[in-house]
């Protein structure tokens, strides 16, 4: 079936060879004819099995009055008794902020789920049509013919997920003055031919991400001097030749992520003096010259994540604001050296192997006077010395999520004490068991505190003494109660969110604070209200049944601003029994799912036996003179002969080996 997997090499042969013999395929005779570079065939059309995403993020209207002539042209060119593959859609006016900006509705043409000959035929049934966007998606368009767009002129051309491997010279000749954006994502392009892209002198955005491109030449880019966005992510680039970008003075964004680059040198980016964003994440960089980015004087965002860097040295980047070094091989923060980077505001060092932060270790960052965000998530940090964060005392947001912290203070002095401007602190997913008086209590500017998913059992009554929080999360810990005076100085009116779910609260401890400050909170500010419960004290075993009947009257149910605390019974000697029942239920569910998968697999394999390929059919011994074509026509009698013969040979093979 053409739609579901004809090999790429066969498709390319069909589009490049002048004559092709009749091909027996799925029991049909496939006889392609050739017209220019387009394969025109009488092969039976089958609906594509590719799942096409819904029209998302766009306000598009079908069957609009402006689209009638387009859709009529597509319908008249469609194959007999089949729906047309291309459709005209109307994009409504945009809005900017709270005031709608009235614009003339844009006409989009979307072609999907079809092979190139049919799409070609429908598009060329138009007559010099001008549209805002032509969008070919989820098609089988291995070759783009030279006169593919002879009758349509889009401002944006997008060909995505369509197996494009070859673009003929002259394909874009009609776009020299109109095309501003070209998207060729998720295709099979291995090279970008200079002659093909030479006419696109007004192009501002080129996206060739997720292809097979191994090289980009300076000659290719020299004709597109107006380019502002160049997306080359997820290709096979191993090197960037010096001078490749020498004529790209207008380029603002360059995405080289998810390639195979191993080295970056100073001359690599010559010509990109106006570049503002550079993405190099997901390569194979193990070393970067300290002056590699010196020519990028206007760079604001640099992403070096997902590489193999053990040291990072950056200097003389006066406008850099965001630096990402996530998921590298940094073992200590002292290995990050930033010199003359005065504008840096956000520094992300997540997913490395830093195990501690010692005093004086961050001295290399002390020149970063404008640093506001420091993210150290997903490291292995166990200890932070009490003056280690002093060089970055001006930060506003500190995230230490998913580390191994067990304590926040050393000799009674908090490691966060130097952070006099801190507003947000994330300590979730650590190993904290107790919160002491000086751990976070001195952070008077703190507004958001996350301590969820730790092992906290106790919180000192003075731990939050000076805090004026807007958001607090203590979810998923081991708290059974909170001190009555924990929020004595807490301004309840400022609280916007509190999360206390996932703790084993005991009702006897909650009375002292539920009737107090939390009853004043609006229910919309309490996360997981319906799941916030407490457990009653354990009753004697001998009166268990009677106690279950009377417990609701013995301990009143509290309903404070929709914050429900439901008393439940916990019987110690039933714990193992309950766990055993839960385990049995889980095993039954898993067993049922496993059995279901086995049945599906068996049916699929059995069905697959009746749908063998031509190659498999030829390999079997056609005992009754059966031909491969007969096999593919799915004659049940012949198929049964094949099956019996195949199984007989298989059983003989096993018998022979068993005898041996």
Task: Give residue 387's pLDDT band: very low, low, confident or very high (50, 70, 90).
Answer: very high
Is residue 104, in this structure, part of any structural domain at all?
Answer: yes
Instruction: Provide the number of structural domains found in the chain.
Output: 2
Is residue 500, in this structure, part of any structural domain at all?
Answer: no
Higher-confidence position of 630 and 316? 316
- The whole-number pLDDT of residue 26 equals 34
- The whole-number pLDDT of residue 538 equals 52
Is residue 288, in this structure, part of any structural domain at all?
Answer: no
Most confident of 122-131, 390-399, 526-535: 390-399
Q: pLDDT, tens digit, for every residue of 192-217?
A: 999 999 999 999 999 999 999 999 99
Average pLDDT, integer, range 232-248: 93
* H-helix or E-strand spanning residue 347: strand 346-348
The answer, as to whether pTM is greater than 0.85, is no
- The whole-number pLDDT of residue 163 equals 94
Q: Indicate whether 650 pLDDT > 50.
A: no
Q: Indicate whether 417 pLDDT > 90.
A: yes
The Cβ of residue 481 has, within 10 Å, a number of other Cβ atoms equal to: 19
Distance CA 613, CA 554 (A): 74
Q: Indicate whether 452 pLDDT > 90.
A: yes
Range of the domain at 616: 610-659
* H-helix or E-strand spanning residue 346: strand 346-348
Is residue 222, in this structure, part of any structural domain at all?
Answer: no
Q: Which has the minimum average pLDDT: 41-55, 114-128, 161-175? A: 41-55
Distance CA 103, CA 107 (A): 12
Q: Indicate whether 291 pLDDT > 60.
A: yes
Q: Are 228 and 204 in contact (CB under 8 A)?
A: yes
Largest CA distance in the chain: 93
Q: Which has the minimum average pLDDT: 68-72, 102-106, 497-501, 539-543? A: 539-543
Q: pLDDT, tens digit, for every residue of 499-521?
A: 988 888 887 766 555 555 666 67
Q: Indicate whether 411 pLDDT > 50.
A: yes
Average pLDDT, integer, range 561-569: 35
Distance CA 564, CA 231 (A): 52
Name, in order, each residue with C-beta under 8 angstroms of 246's C-beta and a sequence gap of 6 or more. Answer: 218, 222, 270, 271
Name, in order, each residue with C-beta under 8 angstroms of 616's C-beta and a sequence gap of 6 or more. Answer: none
Higher-confidence position of 354 and 606? 354
Is residue 533, in this structure, part of any structural domain at all?
Answer: no
Helix, strand or coil for residue 416? coil
Task: Give residue 83's pLDDT band: very low, low, confident or very high (50, 70, 90).
Answer: confident
Is residue 68, in this structure, part of any structural domain at all?
Answer: yes
Distance CA 586, CA 623 (A): 50
- The whole-number pLDDT of residue 337 equals 93
- The whole-number pLDDT of residue 61 equals 76
Name, in order, each residue with C-beta under 8 angstroms of 643's C-beta and a sequence gap of 6 or more. Answer: 609, 610
Task: Give residue 591's pLDDT band: very low, low, confident or very high (50, 70, 90).
Answer: confident
* H-helix or E-strand spanning residue 648: helix 636-659
Average pLDDT of the chain to the nearest whole number: 77
Q: How big is the CA angle at 320 (ends 316 and 321), to the nearest 5 degrees?
A: 145
Higher-confidence position of 57 and 632? 57
- The whole-number pLDDT of residue 525 equals 77
Is residue 114, in this structure, part of any structural domain at all?
Answer: yes
Would you call 34 exposed, middle or buried from its count of C-beta atoms within 10 A (0-12, 13-18, 19+)?
middle
- The whole-number pLDDT of residue 58 equals 61
Q: Which has the minimum average pLDDT: 457-461, 520-524, 616-620? A: 616-620
Residues 612, 615, 620, 625: is their CA dihedral positive or negative?
positive
Average pLDDT, integer, range 303-322: 95
Q: DSSP string covering 111-131, please?
A: EESSBHHHHHHHHTTS-SEEE
Task: Give residue 24's pLDDT band: very low, low, confident or very high (50, 70, 90).
Answer: very low
Average pLDDT, integer, range 327-337: 95
Average pLDDT, integer, range 482-490: 78
Q: How far is CA 513 from the centre of its chain?
A: 42
| Radius of gyration of the chain measured on its C-alpha atoms | 34
Q: Are strands 409-410 and 413-414 parallel, antiparallel or unpaired?
A: antiparallel
Q: Which has the minimum average pLDDT: 114-128, 146-160, 394-408, 646-660? A: 646-660
Higher-confidence position of 15 and 142? 142
Average pLDDT, integer, range 232-240: 95
Is residue 224, in this structure, part of any structural domain at all?
Answer: no
Q: pLDDT, tens digit, for every residue of 136-174?
A: 999 999 999 998 999 999 999 999 999 999 999 999 998
């Amino acid at each position: 079936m053409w739609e579901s997997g004809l090999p790429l090499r066969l498709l390319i042969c069909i589009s490049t060879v002048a004559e092709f013999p009749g091909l027996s395929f799925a029991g049909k005779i496939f006889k392609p004819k050739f017209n220019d570079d387009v394969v025109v065939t009488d092969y039976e059309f089958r609906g594509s099995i590719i799942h096409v995403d819904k029209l998302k993020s766009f306000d598009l209207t079908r069957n609009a009055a402006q689209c009638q002539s387009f859709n009529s042209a597509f319908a008249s060119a469609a194959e007999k008794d089949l729906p047309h593959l291309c459709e005209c859609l109307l994009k409504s006016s945009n809005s900017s902020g709270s005031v709608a900006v009235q614009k003339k509705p844009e006409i989009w043409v979307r072609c999907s789920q079809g092979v190139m000959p049919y799409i070609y035929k429908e598009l060329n049934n138009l007559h010099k049509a001008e549209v805002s966007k032509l969008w070919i998606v989820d098609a089988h368009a291995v070759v783009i013919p030279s006169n593919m767009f002879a009758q349509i002129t889009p401002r944006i051309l997008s060909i995505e997920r369509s197996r494009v491997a070859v673009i003929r010279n002259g394909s874009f000749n009609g776009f020299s003055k109109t095309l501003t954006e070209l998207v060729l994502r998720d295709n099979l392009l291995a090279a970008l031919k200079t002659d093909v892209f030479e006419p696109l002198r007004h192009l501002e955005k080129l996206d060739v991400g997720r292809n097979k491109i191994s090289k980009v030449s300076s000659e290719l880019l020299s004709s597109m001097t107006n380019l502002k966005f160049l997306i080359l992510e997820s290709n096979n680039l191993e090197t960037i030749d010096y001078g490749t970008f020498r004529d790209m003075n207008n380029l603002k964004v360059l995405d080289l992520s998810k390639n195979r680059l191993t080295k970056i040198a100073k001359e690599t980016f010559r010509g990109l003096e106006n570049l503002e964003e550079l993405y190099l994440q997901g390569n194979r960089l193990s070393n970067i010259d300290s002056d590699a980015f010196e020519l990028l004087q206007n760079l604001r965002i640099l992403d070096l994540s997902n590489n193999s860097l053990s040291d990072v040295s950056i200097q003389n980047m006066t406008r850099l604001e965001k630096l990402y070094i996530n998921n590298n091989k940094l073992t200590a923060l002292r290995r990050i050296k930033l010199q003359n980077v005065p504008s840096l505001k956000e520094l992300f060092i997540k997913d490395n192997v830093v195990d501690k932060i010692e005093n004086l270790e961050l001295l290399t960052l002390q020149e970063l006077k404008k640093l506001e965000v420091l993210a150290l998530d997903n490291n292995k940090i166990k200890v932070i010395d009490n003056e280690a964060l002093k060089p970055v005392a001006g930060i506003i947001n500190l995230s230490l999520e998913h580390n191994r912290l067990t304590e926040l203070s050393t000799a009674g002095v908090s490691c966060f004490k130097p952070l006099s401007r801190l507003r947000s602190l994330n300590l979730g997913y650590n190993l904290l068991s107790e919160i002491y008086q000086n751990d976070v209590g001195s952070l008077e500017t703190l507004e958001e505190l996350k301590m969820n998913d730790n092992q906290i059992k106790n919180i000192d009554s003075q731990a939050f003494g000076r805090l004026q929080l807007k958001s607090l999360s203590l979810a998923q810990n081991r708290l059974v109660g909170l001190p009555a005076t924990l929020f004595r100085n807490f301004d309840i009116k400022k609280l916007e969110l509190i999360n206390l779910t996932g703790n084993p609260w005991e009702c006897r401890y909650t009375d002292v604070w539920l009737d107090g400050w939390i009853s004043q909170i609006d229910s919309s500010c309490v996360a997981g209200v319906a799941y916030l419960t407490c457990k009653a004290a354990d009753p004697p075993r001998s009166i268990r049944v009677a106690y279950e009947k009377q417990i609701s009257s013995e301990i009143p149910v509290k309903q404070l601003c929709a914050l429900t605390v439901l008393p439940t019974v916990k019987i110690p000697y039933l714990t193992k029994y309950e766990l055993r029942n839960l385990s049995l239920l889980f095993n039954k569910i898993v067993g049922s799912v496993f059995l279901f998968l086995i049945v599906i697999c068996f049916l699929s394999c059995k069905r697959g036996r009746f749908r063998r390929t031509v190659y498999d059919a030829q390999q079997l011994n056609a005992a009754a003179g059966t031909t491969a074509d007969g096999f593919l026509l799915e004659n049940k009698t012949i198929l049964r002969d094949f099956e019996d013969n195949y199984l007989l040979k298989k059983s003989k093979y096993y018998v022979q080996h068993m005898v041996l």
